[in-house]
Amino acid sequence: MFNSLKLSTRSIGLLARTTRTKATTLPLAAVSSRRLMQTRPPLLQQSHLSRRPVGGSESQGSSGRTRRFENIEFNAPVSIAFFLVVGGLSYAIFEYQKRKLDAEQAQESRKGYGTPQIGGQPFALTDQDGQPFTDKDLLGKFSLVYFGFSHCPDICPDELDKLGIWLDELAKDGTAIQPVFVTCDPARDSPEVLKQYLADFHEGIVGVTGSYADIKQMCKQYRVYFSTPEHVKPGQEYLVDHSIFFYLMDPQGQFVTILGRNLDEVTGVEKIRETLREYRRSH
Amino acid sequence: MWNPFSSGKQEFENTRENRKQCWESRDLYFQCLDSIDVISPLDPKNKDKIKRACQQQEKQFEQDCANSWIRYFKEKRVTDYRNDLINKKIQEEELQAAVTK
């Protein structure tokens, strides 16, 4: 029993003092404990751990008086185990969370803005030649989808000019992207109007229009703010508010990233190239 | 959007040349407004001032641009001016913060 007492006082340095003060009520225990501490080098105690009585018959005999000792005696392994378990657990949780966060961040940087549900749903519209243009026409190639309207005062023409420069630049290294201009103003932008309007810009741009309801649905799919009045008197002039983004869609017709107005002739191309590289690596 | 200045004007043909013409006239008109320290051309307070100094430019601007664009550009001038002010203020504050650091 003394042996075990000594072990506990040694193994938990801090508790040693408590043990000794309590031990003064038991003179013999105190003396022998002190004596052993002086003579035994601390490193040797490890070998005795296995011979220690564990909660067994010895303590039962002196249960009333040595309750405290027992607690301390058993605290050592219990607390070590406790710290191991708690420490291990918190480490594991920390590692897990960190890994989860890293993965999320990697995904975020790949996708740009998380994983919003943009596009990727069926639609049936009409192109500038009066031919049907549906979600199937987005398959098999990357597309850049832009929403605007031909009566747009200054932003759309600028953005479409920029798009033309991007397309020319990307064509240099063989990157073909289908440019799509979807009007938010179907009342005024008939296929003929679009055809004429887009003739001023890059030749590959597909102009897309449709019924008011279909265009509204399309804008909703792409989270485009849509403020076009439904019933307009003939000859009445109005402007259309709309969001100004290019949506890069993959050959499955799924959303990859958006390109905002902050990107210019050069940085836009850089972003598209980088996005495509990243896309090909992960697909 | 009905505009009293543009009655009888023929409809704006939305081509690249016409857009360019419109933007140039707009810039000349706004330059004139700058010279007489007028920010908002829509503010009735400024009406007489503009009529005195920039009537020619205003007429040309409204002649060259689509009706719905005229008001848009005039309003945009005000918001652009405010945005510039805010940006300047932010820059100054950042500079101040960098100096006091």
- This model of the complex carries an ipTM of 0.77
Q: Is A190 on the interface with B (CB under 8 A)?
A: no
Report DSSP letters for B53-91, one per residue. Answer: HHHHHHHHHHHHS-HHHHHHHHHHHHHHHHHHHHHHHHH
Q: What's the rounded mean pLDDT across residues A51-55?
A: 59
Residue A209 lies in a domain: yes
Of B16, B19, B72, the CB nearest to A239: B72
Closest CA to B3 of B77, B65, B78: B65
Closest CA to B13 of A208, A101, A199, A160: A199
Q: What is the structure's pLDDT at A224?
A: 87
The ranges assigned to domains in chain B are: 14-100
How many domains are contained in chain A?
2
Residue A42, classified by CB atoms within 10 Å of its CB into exposed (0-12), middle (13-18) or buried (19+), is exposed
Residue A105 lies in a domain: no
Of B14, B23, B69, the CB nearest to A150: B14
CB contact residues (below 8 A), chain B span 33-92, against chain A: 65-69, 72-73
Residue A97 lies in a domain: no
Give the pair of three-digit tokens for residue A62: 């002196």
Q: What's the rounded mean pLDDT across residues A65-69?
A: 51
Residues A146 and A48 in one domain: no
CATH of the domain at A178: 3.40.30.10
Whether residue A153 and residue B15 make contact (CB cut-off 8 A), yes or no, is: no
Residues A153 and A19 in one domain: no
The sign of the torsion formed by the CA atoms of A120, A259, A229, B13 equals negative
Residue A206 lies in a domain: yes
Q: C-alpha dihedral over A79, A80, A83, A85, to 10 degrees?
A: -110
Asked whether residue B13 carries a pLDDT value surpassing 50, the answer given is: yes
Q: What is the structure's pLDDT at A70?
A: 54
From residue A224, alpha-carbon distances to A115, A134, A244 in Å are 16, 18, 8
Helices (H), chain A: 2-11, 13-23, 27-39, 45-48, 57-61, 67-111, 155-172, 191-198, 212-221, 265-282
Cβ neighbours for A71, distance < 8 A, ≥ 6 positions apart: none
Q: Is A237 on the interface with B (CB under 8 A)?
A: yes
Q: Any idea how long chain B is?
A: 101
Q: What's the rounded mean pLDDT across residues A152-161?
A: 92
Residues from chain A that touch B73, judged by Cβ atoms under 8 A, are 153-154
Residues A147 and A248 in one domain: yes
Asked whether residue A273 carries a pLDDT value surpassing 90, the answer given is: yes
Cβ neighbours for A210, distance < 8 A, ≥ 6 positions apart: A124, A125, A126, A186, A218
Residue A141 lies in a domain: yes
Closest residue in A to B70 (Cα–Cα): A153
pLDDT tens per residue, range B42-55: 999 999 999 999 99
Residues A139 and A244 in one domain: yes
> Hey, of B2, B3, B68, B83, which one would you mutate to test binding to chain A, going by the most A CBs within 10 A of its CB?
B68
The domain of A23 spans 2-84
Report DSSP letters for B26-42, one per residue. Answer: HHHHHHHHHHTT---TT
Q: What is the structure's pLDDT at A32?
A: 47
Asked whether residue A28 carries a pLDDT value surpassing 50, the answer given is: no
Helix (H, G, I), strand (E, B) or coil at A86: helix
Residues A136 and A245 in one domain: yes
Is the CB of residue A227 less than 8 Å from the CB of residue A242?
yes
Q: Is A157 on the interface with B (CB under 8 A)?
A: yes
Confidence tier at A228 by pLDDT (50, 70, 90): confident
Asked whether residue B32 carries a pLDDT value surpassing 80, the answer given is: yes
Name beta bridge partners: A207: A181
Asked whether residue B66 carries a pLDDT value surpassing 80, the answer given is: yes
pLDDT tens per residue, range A182-203: 999 998 899 999 999 999 999 9
Whether residue B14 and residue A236 make contact (CB cut-off 8 A), yes or no, is: no
**Size of the A and B interface in Cβ pairs below 8 Å:** 29
A111 versus A125: which is more confidently predicted? A125
What is the DSSP secondary structure assignment for residue B44, as one 8-state letter?
Answer: G
Of B15, B23, B66, the CB nearest to A151: B66
The sign of the torsion formed by the CA atoms of A181, A185, A186, A187 equals negative
Helix (H, G, I), strand (E, B) or coil at A259: strand
Residue A108 lies in a domain: no
Neighbours of B12 (CB within 10 A): 20
What is the distance of C-alpha A266 from the center of its chain? Answer: 28
CA angle A132, A134, A140 (to 5 degrees): 120
Residues A131 and A21 in one domain: no
Does the annotation list A242 as a binding residue?
Answer: yes
**What's the gap in Å between the CA of A241 and the closest CA on chain B?**
11
Confidence tier at A111 by pLDDT (50, 70, 90): low
Closest CA to A219 of A242, A252, A250: A242
Residue A101 lies in a domain: no
The Cα A147–Cα A66 span in angstroms is: 83
Most confident of A174-188, A238-252, B6-20: A174-188
CA angle A179, A259, A110 (to 5 degrees): 110
Q: What is the structure's pLDDT at A42?
A: 53
Residues A132 and A70 in one domain: no
**What's the gap in Å between the CA of A283 and the closest CA on chain B?**
41
Residues A276 and A138 in one domain: yes
Helix (H, G, I), strand (E, B) or coil at A256: strand
Residue A250 lies in a domain: yes
Q: What is the structure's pLDDT at A237?
A: 74
Residues from chain A that touch B15, judged by Cβ atoms under 8 A, are 200
